[in-house]
Chains A and B, each alone.
Chain A
């Protein structure tokens, strides 16, 4: 089944404790991205990747890191999480960049930073 998976689905952590949210797709997609969803703000792009080893900042990259060492994986790293990073996070992938390509979203990761 074609899908985007994220782990963990729920995470409660404390300020400053490094964490990684994994994202994996099995569709051989080149383009992957991370979004965060906050009430009243919709979803905003954090980082995106056009292909392996090619990543760039989205609209809200501060406090996050990503890597793309393999085509299927695009982990989101919070080196020192803070309470303002409490949010719902979505990973997405598409065959290539560009709006004509349908984006497939993962199930979401709900992160709480205390």
Chain B
């Protein structure tokens, strides 16, 4: 069975601080996909990134960066120079290629990030 653990339930930072959201996953699949979603206070889910298990290159998109380490089954998300608009719930998720789980997304519990001015 697949499992995603986000150890940090809540994080509070002050604007301009860097913050890292941890994500650890478990799966028996050799091919899988990892995702991060953002849920702002308005409630919708905003797709941030998808990474497949064969691509261990780190990714940077503006102030966002992702560190994928297959050896430790982690896919951590860092926000550099955080801003108040980054305040949201962030979800890490795992999916298989469509085998026994038929592409179901398995979500972590979510991390509530609050950025104070």
Give A contacts to B, CB under 8 Å: 31, 33, 35, 40-45, 48, 50, 56, 58-59, 88, 90, 92, 94, 96-103, 105, 107-108, 110
Contacts and interface: CB of A to CB of B under 8 A. Distances in A.
Interface of B: 4, 6, 9, 32-33, 43-45, 47, 50, 52, 91, 93, 95-98, 102-105, 107-110
Contacts of A102: 47, 50
Given A99-B32, A102-B47, A108-B44, A43 B97 contact: no
Given A99-B33, A107-B44, A108-B43, A94 B104 contact: no
Contacts of A43: 91, 93, 105, 107
A105 B44 contact: yes
Contact of A97 (B9, B102, B108): B102
Given A40-B9, A42-B107, A42-B109, A48 B102 contact: yes
Contact of B98 (A56, A90, A99, A110): A99
A100 B33 contact: yes
A100 B97 contact: yes
A72 to B, nearest CB: 19
18 contacts: A31-B102, A31-B103, A35-B105, A42-B4, A42-B107, A42-B109, A43-B107, A45-B105, A59-B104, A88-B43, A96-B98, A98-B97, A98-B98, A99-B96, A99-B98, A100-B33, A108-B45, A110-B43
